[in-house]
A and B are shown apart, each in its own frame.
Chain A
Amino acid sequence: MPVGEGKFKLYAKLTPPLEAGLWRLRADQHFGAQTPETGLDENDLRVDQENVHLRIRSPRYLLPPDQILSTYPPANSFGSYGSRLPQVVIKRRTLPWERRLEGAPAKTPWFALVLIAEGEAKLETSVDVENCVTAGVELEGLKEVAKGNCLVAKKSLINRVFPTKRDLDLLAHAREVDIQDTELMMGDDDGFLAVVISNRLPLPGKDEEGNDAPVKYLACLINLEGQYDVLLNRSPDPAPTFATQFLIKNLMYQEHSARDDHLVMATALAPGRPVINPADLGELTNLVPLAQGSEGSRSTRYQSGAAVGTGAKPYAGSRQWSTSSPVMNTSAQVSLQMAESFRLVDGFEALPFDPEYRFPVLLHWSFTTTGDTTFQSLMTNLDSRLLGDVGNAAKPLSGRLPLEVVESGHIGLGHQTREGDRVRAWYRGPLVPHPTKNTGADRLKLAHSSDQLRVVIPDGREDLSLATAFEIGRLLTLSQPSIIAALMRWRQADYHAARLRSLMVSNRNLWEELLGVGFEKIDLHKIGPLAGRFFADAIVKNPEQFLGNPRPRVTPGRPLEFEGKATTILARGLGLKPALFTGDLAKVFNSLRDVGVPRDDLLITDLGRIDVRETLGIDLDRQRIDLVSSALSNKLLDDNLTGPAFPVTDRIRADVLNDNLDVILRDPRRRDFTDEDQS
């Protein structure tokens, strides 16, 4: 039966059918047979005993990360958790009852969530599992992992902070939630969760003056197997108090002072800053090499998880640490980081009267509790008013003019005009304390520039609210090239469509008749092809209205026009007298034979004599001058480069000196000079 969304069921216990460990299943079969003649007993029909060995595994020293659905307070968080009990939600519903505590009533949870303030106890990471428990205690059965973390706590702390034997079974319960309810499911698969609550409130601290001080807490899920007797039988006897003391932060610092000295003096005992070395990391969560990189490469990939540490190498306890701050990229590193301040507790010596115990830590996370502000106190004390309220602030901050807020919500701001005058202007943002007129004719008319929206109100100041809005809209759009492009595309494609539409609306009847469809169906984007198609259609239907007769195959030539008689035209065309073509054929023939061929006289002798001579002479002179002058100038330049006799201008000289490499190379004095220069 589903639980229903938003609801859940609580179970005091969900016990597993079998506890974790090694089990043997023994099967004995006894047969007998009876017939009228004879009987066979079980010795005759003997069946061998069947032994099956079962190994039921369950996390014991380390809780695999995928088993943790949520922790509260969130790991590494910072907040006011002083009235909430820390808790952890575990995916496997039977986990708290899967192991047996020696000496405890049946079905007592085998772990507890203890909350340690900074400096109270020590968390050791990456310890061989044999050393995770107090010396002398031995846990039988499967170890599951090779290395784990352990919490080292003094007996006095255990008495003060750890749950008592009587508390233990109240601190774990199971919860069933609806599998549709993602908020409560938190990523579980079957809707059953185990919840472990701590017995301690993470109170904030107070310093000596009584001010709030943040306190870092470490929550540890510790395995109590074999050490149940260490816990108090019941809470100490003095009458129960209904109040509890805050931690005094100062006391906690003293425990660190010795370490700080070492740090300052950089002695050998100084606990180098990030005490995270890769070897540590490798062991912490049993990072098992997943695949060796290809031969020759040194890269090795690691898979984090709860794999059995078969490939783990022994912990060398090396003192090497990286000097650079580690990059927090794996959950293991974050986890180590959280443990850091709890790993270095100096002055932590076991006194004979205060023995120290070690507990395996299945899971640990840390968080910081700050002062007394809770969400509730913050929200109930909020100052709730309309925006624009100036309140009772009697005196403004020094050096500031008092804020001008008008009843309409406008405020006065300094304004520098385009002419450079410094004046005051009114401004009101989009968030106003009164409802504004927002409908119908009160909406703003379209403006095309911000100056259209500047208003001068009767008191002489300008109201720049809307002009500012316009400018912001313009500038925000200009900052987005894609939007500018979209606007331009729209302008090209759609403004014209709009114009077309207005054209069509004004001649609606004509278009409907012409296109033959209803006005609503006319698609503006396709009006060109559409009109063409309907035109063709009309032509096909009534060709005679649009088309004329077929064109003849041959086009007749243009009639020629003659003026006068043919012989006259002929004579004129040939340059002869028309009289030649009069008379009979013999006469025409004879007279044509006598006519000389008409020709003009050519004037060859006087043509261009002077002109040609002059032209050629100029060319010749130029060539000659060129030849002579180039030869001459080269020679002169060579001989008398600096001589005053030759009228070489400064410009030429400079050009030559700077550019003409040949000249420079040929100049002996220059060569000397450069030699000197080289030496």
Chain B
Amino acid sequence: MINKSSDILERLGTEIKKTARSPSTEFKRDENTAMPAELRNWLVRLRLLEGVPFANLVADSELLPQESIRWFYMDRRWTDALVQGSLSVGTVNSDDRIQIDAQYAAIRAELDTEERNVRRNKGMARLAGQPGPITGFLLRSAAVSGWPGLHVRAFNVDPEEGDQARFKEDDPRRIRLLRLERLAPAVLLCMFDGIPKVVHIEEPRQGVQFGFKHKDNGSQRSATLRPRSKTSFEYLAEDGSKDVDVPFRVGSSGVVDIRRLSDALAAHPETGAADGLDSAEYALQLIRFPWRQVFGEIQVPPIGSMFRASIEYAPMVNATFKL
């Protein structure tokens, strides 16, 4: 019951978002373009694999196990074939085919450009230039179904501000997302306009949250609070050496003994608890930020550890050619 209604709301939300984010590639027909705008919009969306059955993206479920993230490059020859198939609907006789053959180079060049302008924000300059590689990931996890509205950010360099910094939407180091869509309740498809160095996946923000770090031990749960400085909002010790154990009320489940917690915090005068904690200072200590998962390797791992095939190439060639 609960899931059902929240699913409906979610669906509604994604639908609204989808319509709000429909590609803004329309421009006047009579400008010098290789094809009419309606066709271009369709082909651009096709190029980004919209509507392509999932079985054609991932041909076997073993390739995308549960709780996994799989990174990929996009094969442009495949998407070119997709577009060619679509264009073939409009050719009836060999005369048409000769014509479209002549036109095809222009069509492809225009699609290469326009595909980058999908999801362009209003007011941003139209992107042009040679097409770069398209990459992306498929995420299959309970996190996709349980936390709808994940934030995904990609960078072409490792940002110096560190992993926890706040980045603007039009930061030049950011790689734009071409597509971010849930293909199934627990499968998220994301495509980048380039090859990212660092990717952030962030828990959706539902306002500011308050809470602790917890640890479970059998039927018991304990929690710790990492104190913050009252003036700078920084943690007193990033390594957790000054963490405070959260006291709970005896005999009740989960009830935090707030006064004793403030007494414990008083041991760290930087928190402002020494002269008595007020509610604002207490809130300051409790604020928790959405978790941000950072993907990005400092050292590029060998391909063998990231992609293991079941048939190796050399033996197969040997077998084929009877070498």
Q: Which residues of A line the B interface, CB within 8 A? A: 6, 8, 10-13, 70, 72, 74, 76-80, 82-85, 87, 89, 115, 117, 160-161, 163-164, 166-167, 169-175, 183-184, 186, 195, 197, 199-203, 206, 210, 234-236, 238, 240-247, 328, 368, 372-376, 378-393, 396, 402-409, 411, 413, 427-436, 438-439, 442-444, 446-450, 453, 458-460, 465-478, 480, 482-484, 486-491, 494-495, 498-499, 502, 525
Residues of B within 8 A of A490 (CB): 35-36, 39, 90
Q: Which of A210, A433, A447, A499 contacts B307 (CB 8 A)?
A: A433
Whether a CB of chain A sits under 8 angstroms from the CB of B124 is: no
Would B216 and A430 count as touching, CB distance under 8 A? no
Q: A183-B205, A242-B248, A435-B73 are in contact. Are A427 and B278 (CB under 8 A)?
A: no
Q: A242-B245, A378-B67 are in contact. Are A385 and B307 (CB under 8 A)?
A: yes
How far is B52's CA from A378's CA once the two chains are assembled, in angstroms?
A: 28
Would A10 and B284 count as touching, CB distance under 8 A? yes
Q: A82-B214, A391-B65, A406-B313 are in contact. Are A444 and B2 (CB under 8 A)?
A: no
Residues of B within 8 A of A163 (CB): 258
Whether a CB of chain A sits under 8 angstroms from the CB of B238 is: no
Within 8 A of A (CB), among B79-125: 79-92, 95-97, 99-104, 108
Q: Which of A8, A429, A448 contacts B88 (CB 8 A)?
A: A448
Would B247 and A241 count as touching, CB distance under 8 A? yes
Residues of B within 8 A of A446 (CB): 84, 87, 100-101, 104
Would A78 and B2 count as touching, CB distance under 8 A? yes
How far is B253's CA from A243's CA once the two chains are assembled, in angstroms?
A: 9
Closest to B212 in A: A83
Q: List 28 A-B contacts (CB under 8 A).
A: A83-B211, A117-B253, A160-B255, A173-B279, A173-B283, A197-B286, A200-B255, A235-B250, A240-B248, A243-B222, A246-B219, A387-B70, A387-B138, A389-B70, A389-B306, A390-B309, A403-B63, A432-B73, A435-B73, A436-B77, A446-B84, A446-B100, A446-B104, A447-B84, A449-B88, A466-B77, A468-B56, A470-B81
Would A161 and B78 count as touching, CB distance under 8 A? no
Would A385 and B104 count as touching, CB distance under 8 A? no
Closest to B251 in A: A160
Most buried by B among A183, A430, A471: A430
Whether a CB of chain A sits under 8 angstroms from the CB of B14 is: no
How far is B256's CA from A528's CA once the two chains are assembled, in angstroms?
A: 85
Would A444 and B80 count as touching, CB distance under 8 A? yes
Residues of A within 8 A of B103 (CB): 494-495, 498
Would B81 and A453 count as touching, CB distance under 8 A? yes
How far is B60's CA from A74's CA once the two chains are assembled, in angstroms?
A: 36
Q: Which residues of B line the A interface, CB within 8 A? A: 2-3, 5-6, 30, 35-36, 38-39, 42, 46, 49, 51-53, 56-60, 62-65, 67-92, 95-97, 99-104, 108, 130-131, 133, 136, 138-139, 141-143, 146-147, 166, 201, 203, 205-214, 216-223, 245-260, 262, 277-284, 286, 288, 290-291, 293, 295, 303, 306-313, 316, 319-321
Give B218 Cβ to nearest chain A Cβ, in Å: 7
Give A631 Cβ to nearest chain B Cβ, in Å: 66
Give B154 Cβ to nearest chain A Cβ, in Å: 14
How far is B206's CA from A89's CA once the two chains are assembled, in angstroms?
A: 11
Closest to A167 in B: B258
Closest to B45 in A: A476
With contacts A430-B78, A469-B79 known, what are 10 further pairs, Cβ within 8 A?
Answer: A167-B259, A170-B258, A243-B220, A373-B142, A375-B290, A375-B291, A382-B67, A388-B63, A459-B319, A474-B86
